[in-house]
Structure 1
Amino acid sequence: MSRPRAIDQQPRPSSAAADAALLLAGTQPRYASVATAVATEILEGQRPIGSLLPSEQDLCLRFGVSRSTVRQALRRLGELGLVAGAQGVGTRVISDQPRGQYVLAVRSATEVMGYSMRTRLDIRSRAPLVADGALAKRIGCAAGSAWRHVAGMRRDAESDAQISICDLYIAEEFAAVANMPDLASTPAYRLIRRQLGIAVEVVTQNISAIALDMHQAEALGVPIGSPGLFIRRQFLAAGGRMIEATTNVHASAEEFVYSLRLGPPEEG
């Protein structure tokens, strides 16, 4: 079986989903632009943990800004827990995981699906349902199709930090998977493959910017109307049959960073 392919993974450049790849989104003061550029290098591994950043003077020359602007940028990076300064030594990279954020770095379909392996699902409910028009549009299924809905909160597997409101929709023919204890720590598609030998061939992903409604905001602990991200993933088996769909609602980019790295464009 060939390795799964990921498609429809790139958000529109002008959308808030693209801004979610930045630590400081929106119209940025100069220091924030500097902080974002350096933070991106840290997140992408160009500046490994333990390495020293260039001197303030070198950063001033690189970005064409004043020393006070560079110091503001370094202060912001320190607030994010990425760097720490030491008298007489310089500024050292101490983490590639911003404090208070969950960073999802994606380079392949394997990493899209590996997202579930780095987290755990705090399951709140399980129930059968038949897709009405609204749900059909939400997850991209046929109206009238049968699903097992598993609702919960996704959390970081190590820190237990809250990441997103998570809803799984498992095709009714695989309903037994919805009740498996392993579902909290193992993706449904993996359980389906393990139990029934049906493998995912294609993963599609759509990202949308949203304003959080009352229930979403309350669950995520932010004000009603706060900016958020809605991420839908469809897991397709042979012939395009959807065996699972997931939706995740995240709070603003201050809490969740989606980083997408692609290879060079194809020739021709």
Structure 2
Amino acid sequence: MVTVLGQQPRYMQLAQTLVNEIQSGRYPVGSTIPTEFELCEQFGASRSTVREAVKQLVQLGMVVRQPGVGTTVKALRTEGAYRQVMQQLSDLQRYTADTVLEILSKETEPLDDPAVCDLLRANPGETWLHVKSLRRSPGSPDPICHTDAYIHPAFRSLVIDEGELHTPLFTMIERQFGEQIAEVQQEIRAIALPADIARLINAKARSPALWMCRRYLNRRGDVVEGAIIIHPADRYSYSETFQRGWNSA
């Protein structure tokens, strides 16, 4: 397979290199990273590219810019909401590792449902990859959910390897296209199980179900993948732990 990484902006690649170097100890906490001029020379990059790369590190809370001092390393890990997002992605990866995806269909089709367009922040007529699937848990005879996944047109040539059915679709996108998921937005609500979905998952129509919508966004805020997941109420539970920060009132 030919992989083209041109979709990933140069400044993001440079930012990732700097993150790796900070975390490896090349630039310890309290030290300064090279100046913009020095980074331009080291990477053979323009000043605007370097400036955008350093801006990413500032937004992640890893460095701080100080006039007359330079850019100082503040932390080895990201802060606040960004770290929380990455923990959530890790949780999703563990969930898929413990279950198996069964592909029902995989079609490239134009969007015509206004509700789906709204969920994906897409325009009617855009051609997305639509993947219908069931997810199964070992030891359970019935599927635990039905999923309608929609992949952005830029990634609609996604290859789903039958040997990677424990791997999330968003991870496959990252690997094949050099994209990076930075945020997951999730919405949950209770519904009555639709009859067509009930037949596929061997459940009773109109019985209680959990409807979930997940949007996977890249660093630019674009929806890379959107998924509508429906769980019968008796086959899935969702648990979260909320902690108060030490500095909270």
Aligned residues: percent identity?
Answer: 26
In 2, Cα distance between equivalents of 1:211 and 1:108: 27
Q: Aligned to 2:222, which of 241, 244, 265?
A: 241
SS in 1 for 2:174: helix
**Other-structure match for 1:180:** 161
Contact map agreement 1:202 1:236 (CA 8 A) in 2: yes
Per-residue CA deviation, residues 28-78 of structure 1 (Å, 9 max, x unaligned), is: xxxxxxxxxxxxxxxxxxxxxxxxxxxxxxxxxxxxxxxxxxxxxxxxxxx
Matches for 1:247-262 after TM superposition, within 5 Å: 247-252=228-233, 254-262=234-242
Note closer, same or farther for the CA distance 1:129–1:234 as it changes in structure 2 (3 Å cut).
same
Q: Aligned to 1:120, which of 84, 92, 100?
A: 100
Per-residue CA deviation, residues 1-34 of structure 1 (Å, 9 max, x unaligned), is: 5675667xxxxxxxxxxxxxxxxxxxxxxxxxxx
In 2, Cα distance between equivalents of 1:6 and 1:158: 32
In 2, Cα distance between equivalents of 1:137 and 1:231: 15
The Cα shift of 1:256 comes to 1.1
Per-residue CA deviation, residues 154-209 of structure 1 (Å, 9 max, x unaligned), is: 11156565210112111122122244335522112111211222110011000011
Which residue type is aligned with residue 192 of structure 1? I
Q: Which is bigger in relative contact order (C-alpha 8 A, separation at least 6)? A: 1
In 2, Cα distance between equivalents of 1:184 and 1:146: 24
Contact map agreement 1:189 1:235 (CA 8 A) in 2: yes
In 1, Cα distance between equivalents of 2:159 and 2:214: 17
Per-residue CA deviation, residues 88-131 of structure 1 (Å, 9 max, x unaligned), is: xxxxxxxxxxxxxxxxxxx7332134322221110011101122
Gaps of 5+ in 1: 8-106
**Other-structure match for 1:80:** none
TM-score w.r.t. the length of structure 2 is 0.60
SS in 2 for 1:260: coil
Note closer, same or farther for the CA distance 1:166–1:227 as it changes in structure 2 (3 Å cut).
same
Which residue type is aligned with residue 174 of structure 1? F
In 1, Cα distance between equivalents of 2:174 and 2:194: 35
Q: Aligned to 1:232, which of 199, 213, 217?
A: 213
Q: Aligned to 1:152, which of 128, 133, 140?
A: 133
SS in 2 for 1:162: coil
Note closer, same or farther for the CA distance 1:231–1:5 as it changes in structure 2 (3 Å cut).
farther
Matches for 1:28-43 after TM superposition, within 5 Å: none
In 2, Cα distance between equivalents of 1:197 and 1:262: 33
Gaps of 5+ in 2: 1-15, 17-59, 61-77
Note closer, same or farther for the CA distance 1:155–1:139 as it changes in structure 2 (3 Å cut).
farther
Matches for 1:43-62 after TM superposition, within 5 Å: none
TM-score w.r.t. the length of structure 1 is 0.56
Aligned pair count? Answer: 169
In 1, Cα distance between equivalents of 2:120 and 2:139: 29
Note closer, same or farther for the CA distance 1:214–1:261 as it changes in structure 2 (3 Å cut).
same
Q: Aligned to 2:111, which of 131, 141, 164?
A: 131
Note closer, same or farther for the CA distance 1:191–1:208 as it changes in structure 2 (3 Å cut).
same
**Other-structure match for 1:218:** 199
Which residue type is aligned with residue 263 of structure 1? Q
SS in 1 for 2:238: strand
